[in-house]
Amino acid sequence: MSKILIVALYKFVPLDDFEAMRDPLKAFCQERDVRGSILLASEGLNGTIAGPEEGLREVLAYLQSDPRMSELEYKEAWADRHVFKRMKVRLKQEIVRLAVDGIDPNDVVGTYVQPEDWNALISDPEVVVIDTRNDYEFAFGTFDGAMNPETQSFREFPEWVRKAQELENKPKIAMFCTGGIRCEKASSLMLQQGFDEVYHLQGGILNYLEKVPEEQSLWKGECFVFDDRVSVDHKLQPRWGAWVPEEAKHIINDDTDYD
pLDDT for the residue numbered 255:
53
Rounded-to-integer distance, Cα 50 and Cα 73, Å: 15
Confirm whether pTM is higher than 0.75.
yes
The residues, any chain, with a CB within 8 Å of residue 239's CB and separated by 6 or more, are 222, 229, 230, 231, 232, 233
Do the domains 111-248 and 4-91 match in fold?
no
* First and final C-alpha spacing in the chain: 32
Per-residue pLDDT of the chain (259 residues; tens, 9 = 90+): 569 999 999 999 999 999 999 999 999 999 999 999 999 999 999 999 999 999 999 999 999 999 999 999 899 999 999 999 999 999 999 999 999 999 999 999 999 999 999 999 999 999 999 999 999 999 999 999 999 999 999 999 999 999 999 999 999 999 999 999 999 999 999 999 999 999 999 999 999 999 999 999 999 999 999 999 999 999 999 999 999 999 999 887 655 444 4
Burial class (CB in 10 A: 0-12, 13-18, 19+), 169: exposed
Q: Is 208 left (phi over 0), alpha (psi -120 to 50) or beta?
A: alpha
pLDDT for the residue numbered 258:
42
pLDDT for the residue numbered 253:
60
Contact in structure between 105 and 184 (CB atoms under 8 Å): yes
Rounded-to-integer distance, Cα 163 and Cα 137, Å: 21
Topology classification of domain 4-91: Alpha-Beta Plaits (3.30.70)
Catalytic residue check, 177: yes
pLDDT for the residue numbered 252:
78
Contact in structure between 227 and 178 (CB atoms under 8 Å): no
**29, 177, 183, 223: which one is catalytic?**
177
DSSP classification of residue 171: -
Residue 124: name the closest of 209, 40, 199 by CA. 199
CATH of the domain spanning 111-248: 3.40.250.10
Domain boundaries, the chain: 4-91, 111-248
